[in-house]
Chain A
Amino acid sequence: MNNILENYSKNYSEQIKKRRFWNIFIVLGLFVAILISSSIIDLNMTRITSGIPRLGDYIAKILPNLDTNLLFANSQIEGSVPYWYFNFKKYIVLLYETFNMAVLSTLFGFVFALLLSFFSARNITPNVLSFFFVKRFLEFLRGVPEIIFAILFVWALGVGPLAGIIAMTIHTTGALGKLFSEVHENAELKSCEAIRSAGGGWVPEMRYGVLPQVLPNIISYALLRFEINIRASTVIGFVGAGGIGQELYLVINFNYYEEVSAIILLIILTVITIDITSGALRQRIIKGTHD
């Protein structure tokens, strides 16, 4: 007995030693990697210390000059909030456009991704060939950044939200398709077997055996994607794909400093509101209080 214990503790301390060696090795390796990469990207302290204040300069420039006595005066008076947000109506219309871009692209992407995901899940795919090709196809769709697709479609279809919607739909299809097929791969296939044993084909198996149990997870992922798309749709406007981003790009380029802060503040508020709402909704769906 003593012998066994002794052996065991010896083995144990040997393992610890081995692990410690590897840990040190990995940390040193990471350190060297950081040194090499920082020399490549020309990272040095003087550049950072001289650069940081300039960041403050820009922020100071875009902040509005608000006069506390005149905050709620009309839009003709400098220093008031209405003066700062003289373009409020336009922003709201553009924000609404951005919101719609996110909604539509999430919706379309959701439908395409759901259809394709049944082919790209290893455990339920109807055949190996479709599994391979659909999986590669989805990889391509999400591998190309949406901004690249947006540039392509702006060039092809002209400036406007349509290009942005198509670009985001493509990326959403790829991203959700992967997540959905992973959800399917964790599905319990007992009811599929029962449906097959009753003479039901692949389509009823998917519809009744798989879909009901994966639905809560799938909707939760779709909502998460919607949150991501709201943020993406603001940035994608920079290349002319519509929405508030297009306006933001414009005011940045024309150095309409106060408008930059006005728009950014609106975007942040919108994103936070939607994140909170959709986050709460997702929690409810996961907990199963809703179907």
Chain B
Amino acid sequence: MGSLQLNSLIKQFGKNTDGRIAVNGISLEVTQGEMVGIIGKSGAGKSTLLRMINRLVEPTSGSISFDGTDVTSLKGKALKKWRSECAMIFQQFHLIDRLDVLTNVLTGTLGRRYNILNLLKIFPKEEKINALKALHKLDLLGKALQRVETLSGGEQQRVAIARALMQKPKILLADEPISSLDPKNSKIVMDDIKKINNEEGITVICNLHSLEVAKQYSKRLIGLSEGKIVFDGPPENLTQELSQELYDLENE
């Protein structure tokens, strides 16, 4: 149950001849409740891979399936439902700066209601309570009515996590969640992600540019290079040579 399968996924940007292949034939399986770290240098295709799972980016070929359902062919309502089931958080948080924290968290539920209610900013009471619970879980209850732009980077990323929780997701896709944070906030955010994985059994797929952090938080690492999987296994199996390659290139 709850297994996510990618079958020879390819994404090419641009035209046939001069197009850049970002993801080049990736196949893998992730079971429910896993916490997977994806490592590799920038441009290795990490971000494109995650976006394809959420269908923000359309794959050129290959397929994605979840619990036997073909995700790549979903349209309309079914696609929206899938998107809300696999929540995403982003490197630059992607929050609405000029709105308060609570409303930002509630935007995780926008796909579930009639647009006329969304237009008028009407949220059901129970959703508001759920949002406050999510904020409480992330220790941000006191900031609920502040504008997002007044929060620190770490707090903003945790607001984004609370928004993701509102989607009642089965999968959490984290695209470089700590790249724009200082070490202290990075730890808080990663701990929160780990907690969600442990307590709620939500599968986490997390792009990370830091090998150290990836080793620390996930039992399974996937190394990407030029759109291909070059490593898949527990951190202990990662050879010095391979990690050197993945890590050094990042530092160029």
Contact = CB atoms under 8 A, between A and B. Distances in A.
Contacts of A197: 54, 56, 83, 87-88
**Central interface residue in B54, B80, B95, B111, by most chain A CB within 10 Å:** B111
A194 B87 CA distance: 9
Interface in A188-222: 190-191, 193-201, 203-204, 207-209, 212-213, 215
Given A199-B80, A203-B119, A193 B90 contact: yes
Contacts of A208: 96, 99, 103, 107, 110, 118
A199 B83 contact: yes
B130 to A, nearest CB: 14
Contact of A194 (B84, B99, B163): B163
Interface residues of A, number: 20
A204 B87 contact: no
Contact of A198 (B87, B96, B99): B87
A196 B95 contact: no
A199 B56 contact: no
A35 B116 CA distance: 61
**Central interface residue in B90, B107, B112, by most chain A CB within 10 Å:** B107
Contact of A195 (B81, B110, B119): B110
B4 interface: no
A199 B92 contact: no
A209 to B, nearest CB: 7
Contact of B94 (A190, A199, A215): A190
B115 A196 contact: no
Nearest to A206: B119
Contacts of A204: 107, 110-111, 115, 118
Interface in A165-203: 190-191, 193-201, 203
Contact of B111 (A193, A198, A291): A198
Contacts of A196: 56, 83
A99 B2 CA distance: 64
A208 B117 CA distance: 12
B97 interface: yes
Given A191-B95, A194-B95, A200 B54 contact: no
Nearest to A207: B119
Nearest to A194: B94
Contact of A191 (B84, B94, B108, B112): B94
B56 A193 contact: yes
Contacts of B38: none
Contacts of A203: 115, 118-119
B157 interface: no
**Central interface residue in A196, A197, A212, by most chain B CB within 10 Å:** A197
B137 interface: no
A277 B86 CA distance: 50
Interface of B: 54, 56, 80-84, 87-88, 90, 92, 94-99, 103, 107-108, 110-112, 115, 118-119, 121, 160, 163-164, 167
